[in-house]
Amino acid sequence: MTSMKLTPEVLPSAKAVPGVDLSNCDREPIHIPGSIQPHGLIFALAEPELTIVSVSTNVKEWTGRPAAELAGQPVDVLLTEDSADALRRALADADPARGNPYSFSLRDAEAPAGWNGILHRHAGLLLLELERRDEAAPSYRISFDHVRALTQRLQAARSLDEACTATVAEVRRMTGYGFAMVYRFLPDAAGQVVAEDRAEGMPSYVGLHFPASDIPAQARALYVRNPSRNIPDATYTPSPLQPDADPRNGRPIDLSQAGLRSVSPIHIEYLANMGIRASMSASIIRDGRLWGLVSCMDREPRYPAYEIRQACELMANALAWQIGVLAEIDAANYRVRLKTLQAKLALDMGSAADAHEALRHHSPALLQAVDASGAVLWAAGTLTRVGKVPTEDQLGPLLTWLGTNMRGEAFSTDRLPSLYAEAGNPLPPSTSGLLAVPLSRSGNDMMLWFRPELLQTVQWGGDPNKAASPAAADGRLHPRKSFAAWAEQVRGRSKPWEPYEIAAALEFRDMAVDLIVRRSTELERSNAAIKQSADRLETFVHIASHDLLQPARQIETLTDILHDMIPPQEAADPDAAEVLQGIRGVSNRLRRLIGDLADYSRVGRGAQPFEPVDLDEVVAEVQEMLAKQVVEAEGRIIVESLPMVVCDRRQIRHVILNLLSNALKYRSPSRSLHVRIYAASGDDEASKARLPHGQPGGVTATICVEDNGIGFDPAQAKLIFEPFRRLHASGHYEGSGVGLAICRKIMERHGGTIQASGREGHGSTFRVTFPVRGAYPSNA
C-alpha cells in the first residue's frame, strides 16, 4: 500500500479498519440516549389515558412546570383544550404519524403560541415531539415546487451521476445549507461521496471514501427505521428525560423514531473536528436496504422547518426510485444482449459432444456474458479450464473449500485471495474475483468464473487506519481529528459481480445441466443399443462355436476312419501319413479356436457375484494346476504378498492362469524360466489415467506378473489384447490369439485394466489393476 497526503479537511462516512478496536462505537446504544436535543420538547405517553410516563427536563423552560411534577399526570395539563382534543382525534388513526405535523399549543402564556406536533407509536409508548413553529418558514407549496423540479430533472437523467448531481443541487437550493452531498454505502459498508453541491469556500469531497466506523452498523440500521435526521446545532447541551426509563417495566425510553433524539457524543466530536455545526440527512433506501444518504452540512446553526425536512425525505425517495429505474434499464439492456448470446449458444451447443466441449469451443461468448477472464467446469470427474484461471493444483483445494463453504444457488466475491487466504490457501491476484454455481444438489460439480485484479487508488477522507483513537483517560473512544485526504492503493480486488451477472451465470448453469442430461440420456440409449448388439453377438458366437464344434469333431473322426481304411502297405507311405497328421493338426487347432471363441462369449454369461478374494490363495491354486509344466520347464515362480480384492474369483483365476501359461509358453530357450508375482502401487498417475472414465479417483490395487521370457516389441503393447492378434508365428507357438482378449474383457467387467510392457529378448510384465471402492456390480 502506498499512501500520501493530498488536501485539507473532509467529511464523515464508512469501512471497517483492521487493528483499531471500535467496539465501543459499534455497541453504543444510540437509540436510547436518555436525552434529546433542546430545540424541542418530548413526551412519552401511556395510552389510552395519555398520562405522562417521561418528559424532557427542558419542559420547565417553556411551561414553568418541573419535569418531576408532570410524571403520572395527563398531558392535558400542558396542552390547551383545543390541542388536547386535536391530539385525541389524531390518535383515532391506526398510524397517527401519517398526519404529521399537527398544530398544538401549550397552556402557558409565555410559551410560543404555535408548535408542530410529531406523533409516533413505538415500543408500547406514544411519543409526542413538539418543535417551535416558524411562521416565516417556506410553505408546503414552495417545498412542493422544489420536489417537482427535482422529479423532472431525475426523469431526464440518463446516468447515476446525472441523477445524484441534480439531487444535491436542488436540495441545497431549497435548504440553503453550505454543502449538500449524496453519500453511497459500498458493499463493505465503506462510504463514498458520489455527488456534491457546495458554497464558495467549502472544500470538495466528491470521490472520497470513508471507513465504515464513521457510520457504525447500529447507526446504519437506524437510518433504515427512521430515514430523517436533523442536528440544527451540534454545540447544544442535551436535555435529559425525566425519568429516562419507563417506570412500568424499567426499560429505557426508546427514541429510535424521535427526530429530537440526542446525538452520539462521538459523532458530536466528529462534527466539531470538521468544523461543522449543523447537519441534516435523508436516507436513500432501495429494496429495504440503505443505499446511501442525501446529506447537508453547514458551519453555522440551521433550523430547517419540518416541511423542509419532509421535502428532503421525498427527494431522497425520488432519487432512490430513479436509481432503481437506471439499474433496471442497465439490467434490461444486459438481458437483451444475453438472450441474443444465449440463443446463438443454444444453437451451437446443441452439436457439442458434452458441456466440456461446449465450454472449450464457446469460451469467448461464455466469458463475455458475465464479463469474466476465465472459467472452469468440473463435472463427471473431468476438469476443463479456459482463460486466466488457477492451476490444476490450486483448483483442487479451491473446489473442496467451495464445496464446504458455498451456500445457496451461487457464491460470489470480489476479494477471493484475501478471503481464501483466511483458510490458509494462497491464490494469485490475477484471480481476484470468483463466481461459482453448483451443477447438482450435492455441490460436487461446479461452474466457476474468474475476474482479474482491478488495481485502483482509493481516496480516503482521512487516514482510514486512524479512524478513531484508543479510549483516553475518560474511558471513551474519540474520532480522528484529521480529515486530510489520504490515498490508498487497493490490491487483490476485482470488479464486483452485478446481480444480473449472477443471474446470467445461473442461466448458463441450467444450459450446461440440460446439455449434460441430454448427452447422458443419449449415452444411456447408445449404451443400451451397444449392449443389445453385444448380447446378440455373444449369443451368435456361442451358438456358432457350439455348432462348429460338431463338424470339427466329425473331421477328427473321419480322419481316424480314413486311417483305418488305408491298407497297411499304403499307411506306411510317409506322404500319406503326413497328410493324415496335417488334417489332425488343422482339426485340433480349429477345435481349440472354437473353444476359445466359446470362452470369450461366456465372459459375461454365468458370471459369479463379486466377493472379497485373497489373491495369494488364487495364485496358489493356479500354481498347483501348472506344477508339472513348471517342473518340466525347470522354472521358478516367486510370489510376494498379494492384496485382498473384491472380484469374481473364477474369472480372476482364469486371468492369472492365462498369464502364467503364457510365461511358460513364451519362455526363453537360453535361460531358465523365472516368474515374479507381486503387488504394486496402483495410485500412480499411469494406473489412474487408464481406469475407465467415471471411476472414482485414487485408490486401486495392482498386481504384476513379470517374466524373463522372449518378450515382445513395445510398439505392440496395446495390440496384444486384440482378439486373434498374435505377435509370434503360429508354427512356433500354439494358441488362437484370444486368451489375452478374454483377460481384458474380464478386467473390463471388473472396472479395472490390464496392461503389458516388455522388450524383445528381455521378458514381459503384465499389470492387472482393480479399483478399490465401496460398491461393485454383482454381474455384468
Q: Measure the CA–CA gap between 209 and 11, rounded to whole angstroms.
A: 9
pLDDT at 597: 57
Q: Give the C-alpha distances (Å, rounded to integers) separating 84 from 77, 88, 91, 592.
A: 9, 6, 11, 117
Q: In the block, which residue shows the cell 457439442?
A: 352
Find the farthest-apart pair of alpha carbons in the chain and give their distance in angstroms, rounded: 161
The amino acid at 374:
G
Q: Measure the CA–CA gap between 228 and 118, rounded to whole angstroms.
A: 13
- Shortest CA distance to 55 belongs to which of 132, 133, 131, 129? 129
**DSSP per-residue codes, 434-471:** EEEEESSTT--SEEEEEE----EEEEEES-GGGSEEPP
φ/ψ region of 13 (left if φ > 0, alpha if ψ in -120 to 50, else beta) reads left
As given in the structure block, the three cell numbers for residue 579 are 497328410
CB-CB contact of 399 with 381 (8 Å) = no
Sorted by sequence, the CB contacts under 8 Å of residue 350 that are 6+ apart come out as none
Sorted by sequence, the CB contacts under 8 Å of residue 410 that are 6+ apart come out as 435, 436, 437, 502, 505, 506
pLDDT at 1: 34
Q: Measure the CA–CA gap between 250 and 243, rounded to whole angstroms.
A: 10
pLDDT at 21: 39
The secondary structure of 732-756, three-state, reads CCCCCCCHHHHHHHHHHHCCCEEEE
H or E segment at 41? strand 40-46
Beta bridge partners of 35: 240
Phi and psi at residue 768, to the nearest 5°: -110, 115
H or E segment at 165? helix 160-175
Q: Give the C-alpha distances (Å, rounded to integers) separating 141 from 316, 351, 429, 707.
A: 18, 66, 56, 105
Q: Measure the CA–CA gap between 660 and 637, rounded to whole angstroms.
A: 9
The secondary structure of 111-128, three-state, reads CCCCEEEEEEEECCEEEE
Neighbours of 646 (CB within 10 A): 18
CB-CB contact of 235 with 277 (8 Å) = yes
Q: What's domain 35-132's architecture?
A: 2-Layer Sandwich (3.30)
Q: Measure the CA–CA gap between 582 and 600, rounded to whole angstroms.
A: 27
As given in the structure block, the three cell numbers for residue 394 are 490450486
CB-CB contact of 395 with 389 (8 Å) = yes
H or E segment at 513? helix 499-565
Q: What's domain 611-771's architecture?
A: 2-Layer Sandwich (3.30)
State which residues of the chain have pLDDT below 50: 1-23, 475, 482, 683-698, 774-780
Q: Measure the CA–CA gap between 776 and 753, rounded to whole angstroms.
A: 15
The secondary structure of 391-414, three-state, reads CHHHHHHHHHHHHHHCCCCCEEEC
pLDDT at 471: 52
Phi and psi at residue 330, to the nearest 5°: -60, -45
Is pTM, for the whole model, over 0.75?
no
Q: Give the C-alpha distances (Å, rounded to integers) separating 229 from 31, 115, 123, 280, 495.
A: 13, 19, 20, 6, 33
CB-CB contact of 240 with 56 (8 Å) = yes
pLDDT at 13: 31
Alpha helices (H) along 230-389: 265-274, 306-349, 355-361, 363-369
- Shortest CA distance to 505 belongs to which of 438, 581, 598, 421? 438
- Shortest CA distance to 39 belongs to which of 277, 223, 271? 277
Work out whether strand 636-639 and strand 674-681 pair parallel, antiparallel, or are unpaired: parallel
Q: Measure the CA–CA gap between 555 and 534, rounded to whole angstroms.
A: 31
Q: Domain coordinates of the chain in residue numbers?
A: 35-132, 523-601, 611-771
pLDDT digits (tens, 9 = 90+) for 500-546: 888 888 887 777 776 666 656 666 676 666 666 656 656 655 665 55
As given in the structure block, the three cell numbers for residue 638 are 516367486
- Shortest CA distance to 751 belongs to which of 770, 775, 766? 770
pLDDT at 776: 38
